[in-house]
A and B are shown apart, each in its own frame.
Chain A
Amino acid sequence: MSQKILAKNKLDAFLQGLCRDQDLFAPVMKDGKVGWAPVATADQALWDFSNTEMSPKDFFFPQTECMMRFKNVQGDPQGMIMQAEPALNRPRVLLNIRPCDAKAFQVLDLIFVQDEMTNDLYWRDKREKTTLIGLACNDPCPTCFCTTVGSNPHGTTGLDVLLVDLGDKFLAQALTAKGEALVGDLPAAAGGDEAKAAELKKAAEGKISGGVAMDKVNSREVMELYDAPLWDRVMESCLNCGTCTFCCPTCHCFDIQDETQGQDGRRVRNWDYCMSWLFTMHGTGHNPRGTKKDRVRQRFMHKFKYIPVKRGGEIGCVGCGRCVRLCPVNIDVRQVVNDMNA
């Protein structure tokens, strides 16, 4: 795929092109926090930042999503029949998404879209209609550990275009046909530009100091890890709140509820989380994950053992470090995985 140059003084023209027929979103600074918002011009978007506080997964998997509606009238010929919600009506572009977050969507594709029967149309519709323009990390945070979980600060997985900040300009690498269409008209990069990007990539990789080792986690049997004594300590301080799962780009559990108000009814899906006892509570009163230890263990086992076993070695973590930064009791996933691997 082609390597192009996007000059910094041409960003506005580039963005204008992007939002002509599409909704354009990018990380912005708002109330002191970095989050996603619609943008139209280059100065509205952030070009030098670490990452958004929360993951962008809600573009594809909103925290609350109406799936269907129905007329809540028993006996009415039109009553109690589910009607589909309209699909996304405009394509979208996410600009300056970090490679770890784009990689996370590719991991979630393996879960939401597996085969004909497991084929989540809500996820798929938004994925198909969204273009991802990544911004390579030249300066990973101390909490980043992407290189140790199969991702990279300059990673291209899941992206249509990767931008690399070369200082005075961006190297724009088209990675898919969709990406090619966006950057095709830009001037071609010179050999020196690609060499500089490669240097920046190497430097960024070198800045990732901590991480996880997975070799023994991979070779050990599920039950050996499941029964390991470490969980008794990991769970001690855990609050069983939803912070780690809600900020995580790969956590994807949900709960579906039917809600009614007068004659209006809807089926709505909401984020749920393995830390909640209610998540696994059975109608019988039995709870297969009845203790805090069961729930804490589930999160780490799911990401680092069950997903790799079931999805051809793919890890359910991209090393973005959000849970490390936000956990109210500093449960550090790197430490937990290294303890699993000890």
Chain B
Amino acid sequence: MASDTRQELINLISRRELFSSLGQGAGALALAMLLAEQNATAQSRYTLTPKKPPLPVKAKRVIYLFQNGGPSQVDLFDPKPELRNQDGKKPGTGFVNDVDVKKTGTWLGSPFAFHRHGSCGMELSELLPGLGGHADSIALIRSMVSEHENHEQACCHMHTGMPQAGRPTFGAWVTYGLGTPNQNLPAYVALLNPAGMPVDGSRNWSSGWMPPLYQGMPVRASADSPILNLNIHGPQAAADHRLAFLQTLNKEHLKNHPGNLDLEARITNFELAAHMQLEATDALDLKKETAATHAAYGLDKPETEVYARQCLMARRLAERGVRFVQVMMTGQPWDTHSDNSNQLKSLCKSTDKPVAALLADLKQRGMLEDTLVIWTGEFGRTPFAEGKDGRDHHKRGFSMWMAGGGIKGGTVHGATDEFGYSAVQDIVTVADLHGTILQLLGLDYRSLSYRFDSRDQRLTDVHPVSIVKQILA
């Protein structure tokens, strides 16, 4: 991957080209703007200019594949032979459904076979053959715990560190802490399924009480109008004229307001927006990928097409310097309250291949070294049945995995009890996970703070944090 400095240089040059296309006098204006931008970013409190993190950097960017609904750990990641042995039997005392005690069903063994993969021999479900191919690249945590058994609170907890809504997501924290190397693209992208929003909508990428500068920009993984207000109306030439005329007005205005950094910054932002129109359109144009790549991700198959599109767009955005890409699914598909097995089959069929292709693609491009890929839901599912063949929400033990920058591949960390009910060994809390992710990005969870409510707030707030050292390379 090209260094960030080189990327910045490319941006500068291409912006000069844009300015020179704006017509007479724009060249001098462009130079003034670039200088103004440097001034503005040096002095303004809230910017997206790249910042040097305090700790060694293992990963420069994040692709966060969020699996809304709560994927079933015992069917996908955490083989439990004893659960199968006890199938249909009533759980003993102490095993209850936290959502509703009365809904505690009988043990429900997984119908899926688990196979060993890679030289590490990681056991994964037969539903995840693609991921199996990358077992030596991922660190699997089987001992995650959450604090809440409701979706919204648990999602909030996973994204923001607290079950109560209102705080910034960790994508916002990362954006705030690191800025972004490419100002022509949003720093933090929420890549959405065009079919619809996830449960809880924009709260999943909100900047909470931080300025909206740090919130995720929603990008719909579709061919047309992926970004709100990105498409110009009217012909390009007219749009260029309009912008040039606006900047002429602004320049006249600035003459009477020398040294006003806010005004200068805003002039620059119009140029950035114009540039974003070009660069984002290019970044999201999947026609620029080969047929082989399309096939590898599964863009050519109806069942994988949507997630393939999201994964491939994620790679293209990450490649261009987007700091944080958060891939979201519509609604909460992993919420398998009934017909658990069949639903999992279809979900894995539509996502396993694109995810595997993403990992392979990143690896092949040398990007996996400094890209952190995170795959998790907000919680797991009960090892006992809900109704006949479903599983309910479960916070006491579930699985997630990470791969890429700073991650020790082929690692299995932590364990649940013999039924996959409670995490019992090397328990990892959401705060531990957040602290670890920040550290991989060179940020210190203790010092990364934002002042709000007369307090220096942190992502992990006052929760104790143990960095999950065992999964670090």
Query: Is chain B found bound to chain A in the same assembly?
Result: no
- Interface set of A (CB-CB < 8 Å, partner B): none
